[in-house]
A and B are shown apart, each in its own frame.
Chain A
C-alpha cells in the first residue's frame, strides 16, 4: 500500500493488482450474500406489520375466549382490518371455532389465526 512521501530513487510500498482484485472479489461476494439474505429476511421474515398483526390477532382471541358472546364481525384495529368468522365446532354447541384474518391497508393478508373456544 502506498505510504509516506514519494521520493525519486526509492521504491513506493503498494498492493499488487492481484491483492486488490482478491479483496474486491471478497467484498463483492460477501456483500452480495449479505444483501440476498437481508432481502430474504425482510421479505419472508417477520416484518413489523406481520409481527403486529399476529399480536393483534392473539389479543382478539384472548378477548373472545373471555367474552360472553362471540359472533362473526369485521372491524378495524391498529390500522388493520380484522375479519372474524365463528363456526360451531362439534355440532352440539359446546365448542366454537374462531377464525381470524388480518389485512393491511392495501388489502394484503398479513396474519391469520384459528382457535377453539368454549361455546357461549
Chain B
C-alpha cells in the first residue's frame, strides 16, 4: 500500500515536472517566435528601403551582429512588380514573408488625364465628367456638340487644376523597362507537354514554374493556377472563363481572354490583347502590349481591348521602343471600368459610359460612332483620379512613381 501511495505521489510529481518542462518549452518557443517575427519585419523593411536590383540573389547576413538575428533576403522581378522574400532564421526555425512591392504615387506628377500637346483643344460632349488635375494642350478644353449630343455634364468642365502638357508623353522609366525586357526574354525552357493537374499552386520560395506552349495555339480552360507560374507562348494564347489565374504571368504574341473570366494576373503580348465582355480582373492586374524590337516591320498596331462591362483593376499600357507609323490603341469599351492607370503612346479609345478611376496618359483620345471617328473628343465618359483608392500603389515603370517602395500584396507567410 505504501508503495502504491508513493507511486501516486511520484506520478503527481512527474506531472508537475512535465507541466514545468512544457511551460518552459512553450515560453522559449514564444520568445523565439517573437524574435523571428521582429527579424522578419526588419528584413521586410530592408527590402522596402532597397532598390529593386539590390538583392537579386539570396543574401544571408546578421542584422545586428548578435546571436539569433540571421536573415535571408531576395528580390524577384515579377512582371511590372517586384516580389520580396524575407526569411528570419534561428537554428532550424525559419519564418518567411513573401510580398509584392510597388511604389506610392507622386502627387505632383499624378493626373486624371495627361494628353500630350497636339495644339488642339480637348472637346467634351454628352454626360462627361473629369475630376482631378489634368495636363492638356494649352489650347484648353471646350464643350462640343457631337454625334447629335450636346455637353450635359457639370458646368465646371474639369474639377481640378489644368496644366499645360508637353509635346511628348512622360516616358516610361528606363530602368524598370529594361528589367521588364530581360524578364520577358528569360530562358523559357523546353516545350511543355501540358498541365499534370487541374490545380497548381507554386510557391515563390521555389524557382518559377514555366509552361512553354511554343508555336502551338493553346487554350487555358478548366485549370486553376496560382503563384510563381509563368506561361509562355510564341503565338496566340486563349484564356477561357473556366480558367482561374492568381498572380500568374502570361507572355504570348497575342492573348484573348474569354467573356466571364475572373482572376488577377499579368498579361504581356507583342501584338494584341483582347479581353472580352464581363471579365473581372482583380488588383493588381496588368495588360500590356510590349514591343522592344526597334527594327521590326509592324503590320498591325499594338492594341489592348477591354470590352463591354469588364472591370479591370491595375495597369493597362502599351510600350514601343520605337514609334511605329501605326499608332497603338487602348480600347476601353462600353461600361468598362478601369481602376488604375492607362498609358498609351498612341490613342485611347473610349466608348460610351466607360469609366477610368485613376489616370490616363495618352497622345490622343478617339471616339468611334457608327459612321465617324472623332479625335480628341471625350463623349459620355467618366475620368476621376479621386475615385481611386488612396492606398493604390503604382508599378515603378510609370512616370508618376515615387522612389519609396511599399507592400502591395502579402503573398505567402508562415
Q: A30-B9, A41-B20 are in contact. Are A51 and B27 (CB under 8 A)?
A: yes
Give every chain A residue within 8 A of B9 (Cβ-Cβ): 27, 30-31
Determine whether A58 belongs to the interface, using a CB cutoff of 8 Å to chain B: yes
Q: A41-B20, A90-B49 are in contact. Are A19 and B10 (CB under 8 A)?
A: no
Q: How far is it, in angstroms, between the C-alpha of A42 and the C-alpha of B3 when the chains are bound?
A: 31
A46 to chain B, nearest CB (A): 4
Q: A45-B24, A118-B45 are in contact. Are A37 and B2 (CB under 8 A)?
A: no
Residue of B nearest to A28 (CB): B6
Interface residues on A, range: 35 or more
Determine whether B150 belongs to the interface, using a CB cutoff of 8 Å to chain A: no
A-facing mask of B2-16, CB < 8 A → 1, else 0?
110111011001101
B23 & A30 in contact (Cβ 8 Å cutoff) = no
Determine whether B69 belongs to the interface, using a CB cutoff of 8 Å to chain A: yes
Residue of A nearest to B48 (CB): A118
B17 & A34 in contact (Cβ 8 Å cutoff) = yes
B406 to chain A, nearest CB (A): 10
Determine whether A71 belongs to the interface, using a CB cutoff of 8 Å to chain B: no
Give every chain B residue within 8 A of A113 (Cβ-Cβ): 38
Choose from B16, B45, B63 the contact partner of A117 (Cβ within 8 Å).
B45
Q: List 23 A-B contacts (CB under 8 A).
A: A1-B1, A22-B6, A23-B2, A23-B6, A27-B6, A27-B10, A30-B10, A30-B13, A34-B13, A37-B17, A37-B21, A41-B23, A45-B20, A46-B31, A61-B38, A94-B49, A97-B64, A99-B64, A114-B63, A114-B69, A115-B41, A117-B45, A118-B49
7 tightest A-B CB contacts, nearest first: A23-B6, A46-B27, A116-B42, A94-B49, A45-B24, A34-B13, A30-B13
Known: A46-B31, A95-B49, A113-B38. 11 other contacts (CB 8 A): A19-B2, A23-B6, A30-B9, A31-B9, A33-B17, A41-B23, A45-B28, A58-B34, A65-B41, A114-B42, A116-B46
Residues of chain B touching chain A, judged by Cβ–Cβ distance below 8 Å, are: 1-3, 5-7, 9-10, 13-14, 16-17, 20-21, 23-24, 27-28, 30-31, 34, 38, 41-42, 45-46, 48-49, 63-64, 66, 69
